[in-house]
Amino acid sequence: MLSWRGVLLSLLLFTSILNAENIDQLLSEYNQNNDLSRQTIDENKGHLVLFTREKLERMHAKTLKDVMKYTPIIYYHESRYALPDPLTSGIFEPYRSNFIRIFIDGVEITQGWLGSGVVLYGDMNINFADHIEFYYMTPSFDTSVEPAYLTIFIYSKTPERDSGVSLDLMAGSRGYNVESFNYGKEHNNVSYMLNVSHTLEERERVDNGTDDPLKRDFERVQVFGYIKNEKHSFHLQIMQKNTDALAGLSFDATPLTSEIDYQNIHMDYQTKLNAYWKAQFSYDQLTTDTLMVDDESLLYVGSLFGNSYSGSSKNSTYSAELTYINQFGKHRVTGGVKERIKVLDSFKEDGVGEIPKVFDKEAIFSLFLQDQYALSQRELLSLGIEYSYIDRNKGVSSDDLLQLRIGYLYHGDKWRYKAYLYQSMFALDPFSYSLDLSCTKNVDTDYNRVQTTYGITQELRYKEKKHDLALMFYLLKDQDGLLVNSKDEDTKYLSTVLQYGYMFDLKNRMDIQLYYAHYSDIFELSSLDDYSGYISLMNAYGTFEFYNAVVWHQNSVDNKNYFDLTSSVSWNISEDLTFTIRGENILDKAKETNLYRMDPETGEMMVPLKVSPVDRRIVFELEYQL
């Protein structure tokens, strides 16, 4: 006869077996609920496209560019200087992506006089990153953000999960090579992280009809580090990037020399003063050395220097922000004040001296306030307002901007819904216009000074253990657009994004995204339809992992289909060592950007060059964790 202890033990064993059947499911739930993005995601920030650490690792995304080719609405492009510029029109402009903002660990990285941080950090090495959040339109007013269509929040790895040393070595087509080192440690509740990477990109040449095709090779050294505890954090980021600048300042894209070197330093300090108040200070400095030679007069500087320019510049940005957050019953109130000062320290031609500048100092003062009111245990109503005053020296006009956002959010167990009404105001960037030294237009009177964008956006999401389905819908109108179109009408946008993720099991997953947008009165077009999408598969078999994805683009301008196929196979040789072979743009049919050209002698537009920002490349990678 069985004793009661025996019966109990048998029961426990049986229960244990039943439970063990769910071990995969429990691990999957543990994975999802304990991903570090759960600590940083703010559902009320807006419409989120998230790249978790696991996703970034499985994609083998090594740069922000590798990630941005999958984002909907705004995807990766490069300017005529071979710099990241997703909003570029391809025409003669220094940059257009000043309405895309990049934050690292809650602090914006900015280049001040080059629009935003995107031009330099848009293709940064992300080996230091844990996860990346993309928010469309102005995110919540928990912090001040200069007006933005897209805000990218990158969060770094933590030594709690990435302690010790890791090395990542890559070599690929045309001598491409990357070496990256990461070290993390936690000691007495203080966390340290240091990440150093070196990148040498020998990129595909662009045929410009001459014997000397356009070059865009670059060499970059990037250093990222932080030290933090519960109350204080200090970040340091340094980047040195020496580039061949593609067409550069050549009107007809036939430069004899086109080179720009960039040196950037960013540092910030954040502190929690008490339970309600926090402060942050940051400093960004960018210096450039430019060498441009052409057989014809150069763009912007041609009226002064003819067909050769060798100059340098230095600019500094100082930012300070004080924020208050408190809970009053059902209200969560956030408010704050921010001051940013951008100074163009120098802008000079070698052997000549300082170049005349329309202005060289800009100060942005912002006040922001947000109330989030819990209507019920599942519903939230939010109201956000931000006022900014932009002051410029040397008599250039100041601007007032007012951002407004009203939001409603429903958070059910499986179903989620959010809707926002926006008013976003964007100021003309007078510096980029003033670069054209031959231009007779007055930045104060001959351009629209402030654009107002009105928008309504909605998102419906269904999420359960295996399925994740989201439908996003955006309707926007630009009033008094900064970019004047041929009919001088307001530009209108309608965008929809459908995302679906299916988890076969713990290690196998499929993601699908479809995007459609209809634009009215944009650039010289009365209408434009834009389509894109991707399908990706993450699979694992034994010690092997596979990633396959194809990104598709088409628009109504030429109805041409573009396909960017990425595939990788990883072999986890041991717990510490992984070998990967990765192919990028395997079909050599990735999306292209028009690079416009003008004959400098006749002033007539030439057939634009088609430039793909994604090179066709095979990469071999070795990752080692000490």
Q: Where along the sequence are the contacts to another protein (CB under 8 A)?
A: 9, 12-13, 15-17, 19-23, 26-27, 29-36, 38-44, 52-57, 130-131, 158, 160-161, 163-164, 327, 329-330, 332, 372, 374, 377-378, 380, 409, 411, 575
Q: What backbone phi and psi angles, to 5 degrees, belong to 535?
A: -130, 135
Of the two residues 13 and 167, which places its CB atom closer to another protein in the complex? 13
In whole angstroms, the minimum distance from the beta carbon of 255 to another protein comes to 42
User: Which pair of tokens denotes residue 581?
Assistant: 């072979």
Beta 100-104 vs 150-156: how paired, if at all?
A: parallel
Cα–Cα nearest to 270, from 226, 304, 307: 226
Query: For another protein, which is the closer residue by CB, 61 or 82?
Result: 61
Cβ closer to another protein: 131 or 597? 131
Nearest approach, Cβ of residue 385 and another protein (Å): 20
- Kindly state the smallest distance separating residue 187's Cβ from another protein, in Å: 9
What CA–CA distance (Å, rounded) separates 27 from 501? Answer: 18
Contact in structure between 52 and 35 (CB atoms under 8 Å): yes
Task: Supply 593's token pair.
Answer: 């950007």
Q: Measure Cα distances from 434 to 90, 305, 438, 443 in Å.
A: 19, 16, 9, 7
Nearest to another protein of 327, 442 (CB atom): 327
CA distances from 58 to 37, 153, 204, 349, 538 (A): 16, 20, 26, 47, 7
| Closest CB to another protein among residues 142, 521 | 142
End-to-end CA distance of the chain: 55
Token pair of 385 as six digits: 């307002």
Nearer to another protein, 42 or 261 (CB): 42
CB 256 within 8 A of CB 245: no
* Tokens read off for 558: 């030429």
Cβ-Cβ contacts under 8 Å for 466 (sequence gap 6 or more)? 502, 503, 504
- CB nearer to another protein: give 12 or 352: 12
Selection from 87, 59, 73, 92 nearest residue 137 by Cα: 73
| 57 vs 339, beta carbon nearer another protein | 57
Strand partners, 419: 408, 458
* Three-state secondary-structure class, residue 98: coil
The two structure tokens encoding residue 96: 């257009």
Q: What are 347's two structure tokens?
A: 């802008």
| Least distance CB 486 / another protein (angstroms) | 44
Q: Which is nearer to another protein, 163 or 496 (CB)?
A: 163
Compute the least distance from the CB of residue 330 to another protein, in Å: 6
Q: Rounded to an integer, what is the distance from CA 561 to the centroid of its chain?
A: 25
Question: Are 368 and 141 spatial neighbours (Cβ–Cβ below 8 Å)?
Answer: yes
Q: Which lies closer to another protein via its Cβ, residue 12 or residue 605?
A: 12
Taking the complex as a whole, the smallest distance from the CB of residue 324 to another protein amounts, in Å, to: 16
- Give the closest residue to 337 by CA, choosing from 383, 369, 382: 369
Taking the least distance from each CB to another protein, the nearer of 19 and 438 is 19
- CA–CA separation, 575 and 594 (whole Å): 45
Amino acid identity of residue 559, one-letter, is N
Distance, in Å, from the CA atom of 62 to the CA atom of 56, rounded to the nearest integer, reads 8
* Least spacing, CB of residue 106 vs another protein, in Å: 12
Between 296 and 371, name the residue whose CB sits nearer to another protein. Answer: 371
User: Residue 113 Cβ, how far from another protein at the closest point, in Å?
Assistant: 34
| Smallest distance from another protein to CB 461, Å | 13
In the bound state with another protein, the residue whose beta carbon lies nearer, of 198 and 411, is 411
- Show Cβ contacts of residue 577 under 8 Å, excluding neighbours closer than 6 positions: 622, 623, 624, 625
Give least dist CB 115 to another protein, A: 30
Minimum distance, C-beta of residue 614 to another protein, in the bound complex (Å): 24
Tell me the C-alpha to C-alpha distance, in Å, between residue 606 and each of 80, 208, 484, 594, 595: 15, 11, 22, 12, 10
Report in angstroms how near the CB of residue 35 gets to another protein at its nearest: 7
> C-beta of 538: minimal distance to another protein in Å?
11
> Which residues lie closer than 8 Å to 505 by C-beta, 6 or more apart?
24, 28
The residue written with tokens 């919540």 in the block is: 140
